[in-house]
Amino acid sequence: MDLLQTVLDAGDGAAVAELGRHFGLDQGQTAAAVGQLLPAVAAGLSRNTAQPGGLEGLLGALAGGRHQRYLDDPASMLDASTVQDGKGILGHILGSKDVSRQVAAHASARTGIGADVLKQMLPMVAALAMGALSQETAGSRMGGPAAAQPGVLGMLAPLLDSNKDGSVADDVMGMLGKFMGPASR
C-alpha cells in the first residue's frame, strides 16, 4: 500500500477525521489537504534517503521512535508533543520554515483551504507519514533493516511519480525545486 492510502485509511480513517475536526474541515477537504501536503513530505524523505547514510538514518528513526502511535491513537494528533515532533521531522526533511510555508501555499492554491490552516496541519501530516512508515517497518523488522527498505521506499514511490513515467527522480527534483527555489538547486 502506498503512503497516502495508509495515512487516509489509518484507524479506519480516524486519524484524518481527527485532523478534519480539529481544523473545521469536512472529510473531502481533509483528504484533499493531506493529499496535497503528503507528496512534499515524501519528497523530503526521499531526498534524505538518497543522501549517504540517509536511508539508514530514516530506518533508525523509524525503529527507535514511537511514530506508530499517531496511527494507533488518532487523538494523539492534537497533542503539543505531536506537533513538536512533526516540526522536528519537517525541519529535518525540508530544511526550513520557508519551505514549509511554500508547501502550505502550494497546497492552498490547489485545495482552496487557507495556507494558515495547512501550515498548522503540515507537522501533523509529517507525524502521520512517519507513523505509516513506522508501521510498514514494524511488519518488516523480522528480516532486519534490509527487509524494511523496499517497503518504505515502495510506500513513497506512488506519491512521488507524479508523471507516472516509472521514475521518481525527475519528480522529486521538480517538487523540491518548486519549494526550495533557485538558490538551493
User: Which residue, 15, 30, 27, is CA-closest to 117?
Assistant: 30
What is the pLDDT, as a whole number, of residue 169?
Answer: 47
Supply φ then ψ for residue 29, to 5 degrees.
-65, -40
CA distance 125 to 35: 10
pLDDT surpasses 60 at 89: yes
The set of residues, in sequence order, having a beta carbon less than 8 Å from that of 162 and lying 6+ positions away, is 39, 171, 174, 175
| 41-76 residue pLDDT tens | 988 888 887 778 777 787 777 777 788 888 888 888
The model's confidence at residue 135, banded by pLDDT at 50, 70 and 90, is confident
Average pLDDT over all residues of the chain: 78
CB 7 within 8 A of CB 128: yes
**pTM exceeds 0.85, yes or no:** no
Q: What is the distance in angstroms between the CA of the first residue and the CA of the last residue of the chain?
A: 32
CB 3 within 8 A of CB 132: yes
What is the pLDDT, as a whole number, of residue 172?
Answer: 44
Q: Which residues of 40-79 are buried (b: 16+ CB within 10 A; e: fewer)?
A: bbbbbbbbbbeeeeebeebbebbeebebbbbbebbebbee
Radius of gyration (C-alpha) of the chain in whole angstroms: 15
Query: For 128, how many CA atoms within 13 A lie in the half-sphere containing its CB?
Result: 31
What is the pLDDT, as a whole number, of residue 115?
Answer: 96
Per domain, the residue ranges of the chain are 3-184
What is the pLDDT, as a whole number, of residue 60?
Answer: 79
pLDDT surpasses 80 at 126: yes
